Structure 1
Amino acid sequence: MPAPPTETLATRRARTGPPLASGASALLVLGFVLMSLNTRVAFGQIGPLAPVAGFSPAALSVLGLLPPLCMGAFAPLAAVLRRRLGEERGLWWASLVLVAGAVLRMLGMPGLFAGTVVVSAATAVVNVLIPVLVRKRFPRERVGTMMGVYALSMGVGSALVAAVVVPTAQATGSWQPAIGLAVIPAILAAAGMTPQLRHRPPQPAAGTGTKRTGHPHVARTALAWSLTAFFGIQTLAFYTTLAWLPSILVQAGLGRSAAGTGQALLICGVAVGGFAAPVLAAKRADQRPHILVTVLVCVIGFAGLLLAPAGTSMVWVVILGMGLGAGQALPGVLYAHRGRDHDHVAALSTMAQTCGFLLAATGPVLAAALHTATGTWTAPLTALTAVLLVCSAASLRAGHDPK
């Protein structure tokens, strides 16, 4: 009987990531962080600006609906760019589109709507390619840390820009310069990713022509649908909470200033949970406990907002933020751990984010409809809690590889 084949260098690198020289590693991490900072910057500007800019309720509804809707619709574009350009060049071009979209958003209300679509399309590409880049370029033991850095950077970028948009609008007397602040981190991201242009996409092996060896039938697997269920419901809960938390807190008896503080605390909780969850989950082969804890923390946060006295609302907001942040960051680890190779990781990421973001786009609209029908936020919060609990069972396959 022939001896089992030994592990080749290429196989080892596909499994653990390539070794990096210190200088190349520093440039990669810098570009990765600058790219990650931009992923939610544009979407965190509208809420704080709304009272100052005088946006109509209809405009606010559309601006809240466009990001998840467009990120779901444009996520498949990432697979095309990855095949043609590779992850590094795909992210660089996405950063240029982010700059263009950020500039476009400054050109009045039509520009704001059109620019939001452009920024969302670029962000969809980034969302899909980041987990593949992490799996490809970093050692396996650093996957959780880098996905944590990704989630933390998203929160930090959104919080920093959200903190300065209102003072900028008040100082200039217009919302356009405040919106234009997003151009700065977008330019920095493009500059940070430029050193990675030296990485070219791998050429097809000799004799294979242009045939691809991806995973076109990933939608036929239970794993892909389980990942989609977890990401989709978590993202629906995230965008619904982000859209309506200030209104929920005001109806609970808090003032508008306190409600704004609650939104800031939610973002802080998201950053903490987004960093901690992937770091902890990547250390284990089985992430089912992390999925269940993530769902449980979200449920506790929603239950606290529903049942606890208004004076403790901020505590439950922070807890909810940590759960929602974990739910946004944990899927990146799941793609990297469940994917058999880089193509499989990309296919899982694309499907989960395409379906998940389209599902998430319905959350704020359905919550508003329930609130209008009942006159309170009890029904929407109860519905979110129930959906999270029901969906937790469907999500467990995403956390484990059955032997």
Structure 2
Amino acid sequence: MPLSTASAPSSAPDQASPGRAAPASGALLVVGFVLLSLNTRVAFGQVGPLAPVAGWGQGTVTVLGLLPPLCMGLFAPLGALARRRIGEERGLFWASVLLVVGALLRTAGLPGLYAGTVLVGIAVAVVNVLIPVFVRARFAPRRIGTMMGVYALAMGAGSAVVAALVAPVADAWSWRAAIGLAVLPAVLAAAGMAPQLRVERRIPAAAAPVRRRPVGRTALAWSLTAFFGIQTLVFYATLAWLPSILVDAGLSRTAAGTDQAVLILGLAVGGFLAPVLAAARADQRPHLLAVVAVCVLGLLGVVLAPATGAPLWAGILGIGMGGGQALAAVLFARRGTDHDHVAALSTMTQTCGYLLAATGPALTAALHSATGSWTAPLLTMVGLLLAGSVLSLRAGHDARP
């Protein structure tokens, strides 16, 4: 796969220094990138399948569903800080080390599970902000869509494998053993990113200061935030509660865990296809509307036939949500005028978007408690997606902010 040590031509101030990446580092770069990508949702995909098996109450599931997006929102600015202080490569490596620490801590009973989830959330917050900048800087411009697709595909595949294994492992041993499945891939991610410590930091070329409005005062940034925030709210609410919805519909706990794995496998498929299809075009509005439509179809399927069509609806919903998550990263890279602008858009969108998404699991639980049914929360998510599709259209095309 062709690699480039320089950024896109429009980003002269961000050109890499000559020694930034030797040709021989290309294979290690891709391997490290894939290993890190495998880990960015593994820990979060364990809670839903484990909830019925471990006997956790609604409060525990709600908190564990709320912590990841809350931490990723609150700590997204750390990604921009890490980029300025130590560069993308070192920032991603130290984030992968924090992933290992968090994965280990999560095996230490419920208090450790809460604390470790916070650490994993912080690590993933840094990764989320740095990945679009890293991809734009280290891969040839024509490969941005492909590499963002690889990122989402690996992310979904890693989560799907672990989600399929946690219920059988918990039944055979304990939920702590099932949680411990996330440790090995986290260690591999840290090892895979370690060679990037040898890469020289970029030395920005002298250039006239770029004058632009703060991203928080642009329609582009808020449109991106609306798209990403609503997509991510639906993502985390579904990830936390889909197995419980299916168990209440009459499925066994094992079947519900398997359907969660189908959902996450769908995330991988949609996450690969959306950026590959969208990155080559200047206008991503058709792709944006398509992922919303697929998500709505999956949610309505769960409302109308949760037991008889569960694997089908889980797969469709996963494809839509995976496409939405990955498309957002493409939009950061495509709408940003240079690396600093990409980082600023990514930081603001993920800070605000994840804080909005943190309400998803709690909102779902509250609506379920108030109505005694899962229909109200599922239809509420449908309504949010439809409203968000209108608010998000500005983010889908290339008009300048």
Q: TM-score scaled by structure 1? A: 0.90
Equivalence map 1:4-403=2 (5 Å): 12=9, 14=11, 23-171=24-172, 173-203=173-203, 217-308=214-305, 310-402=307-399
Matches of 2:212 and 2:49, distance apart in 1: 42
Corresponding residue SS for 1:40:
coil
Where does structure 1 lack aligned partners over 5 or more consecutive residues? 1-8
> What fraction of aligned residue pairs are identical, expressed as a percent?
67
CA shift for structure 1 position 81: 0.8
CA shift for structure 1 position 344: 0.6
**Preserved CA contact (<8 Å) 1:42 1:182:** yes
Q: Structure 1 pair 309/128, CA: closer, same or farther in 2 (3 Å)?
A: closer
CA shift for structure 1 position 367: 1.4
Q: Structure 1 pair 303/132, CA: closer, same or farther in 2 (3 Å)?
A: same
Deviations 1:12-37 (A, max 9, x none): 38489879765321111011001111
Structure exhibiting the larger radius of gyration computed from Cα positions: 1
Q: Which moved more, 1:108-117 or 1:291-300?
A: 108-117
Q: Which moved more, 1:214-223 or 1:107-116?
A: 214-223
Matches of 1:215 and 1:180, distance apart in 2: 46
CA shift for structure 1 position 338: 0.4
Deviations 1:221-267 (A, max 9, x none): 11100111000000001111111212323344444443333212211
**Preserved CA contact (<8 Å) 2:61 2:240:** no
**AA in 1 matched with 2:123:** A
CA shift for structure 1 position 151: 0.6
Q: Structure 1 pair 252/102, CA: closer, same or farther in 2 (3 Å)?
A: closer
Matches of 1:160 and 1:17, distance apart in 2: 38
CA shift for structure 1 position 324: 0.7
**AA in 1 matched with 2:230:** I
Q: Structure 1 pair 321/35, CA: closer, same or farther in 2 (3 Å)?
A: same
Corresponding residue SS for 2:392:
helix
Q: Structure 1 pair 51/359, CA: closer, same or farther in 2 (3 Å)?
A: same
Q: TM-score scaled by structure 2? A: 0.90
Matches of 1:17 and 1:292, distance apart in 2: 34
Deviations 1:28-68 (A, max 9, x none): 10110011111011112223333443434332221111111
Matches of 1:160 and 1:257, distance apart in 2: 14
Corresponding residue SS for 2:34:
helix
CA shift for structure 1 position 73: 0.6
Q: Structure 1 pair 48/299, CA: closer, same or farther in 2 (3 Å)?
A: closer
Q: Structure 1 pair 68/251, CA: closer, same or farther in 2 (3 Å)?
A: same
Deviations 1:136-176 (A, max 9, x none): 111111111111111111111112222333444444x3433
Q: Which runs of 4+ in 1 moved over 4 A?
A: 15-22, 203-208, 212-216
Matches of 2:399 and 2:194, distance apart in 1: 40
Root-mean-square deviation (CA, aligned residues, Å) is 2.5
**Preserved CA contact (<8 Å) 2:53 2:253:** no
Deviations 1:111-137 (A, max 9, x none): 221111111100100011011100111
CA shift for structure 1 position 183: 2.0
**Preserved CA contact (<8 Å) 1:84 1:201:** no
Corresponding residue SS for 2:296:
helix
Matches of 1:165 and 1:302, distance apart in 2: 24
**Preserved CA contact (<8 Å) 1:17 1:135:** no
2:3 aligned partner: none
Matches of 2:395 and 2:348, distance apart in 1: 13
Q: Which moved more, 1:192-201 or 1:252-261?
A: 252-261
Deviations 1:169-228 (A, max 9, x none): 444x343333223221111111111111123433466799xxx96978111111100111
Matches of 1:119 and 1:368, distance apart in 2: 23
Where does structure 2 lack aligned partners over 5 or more consecutive residues? 1-5
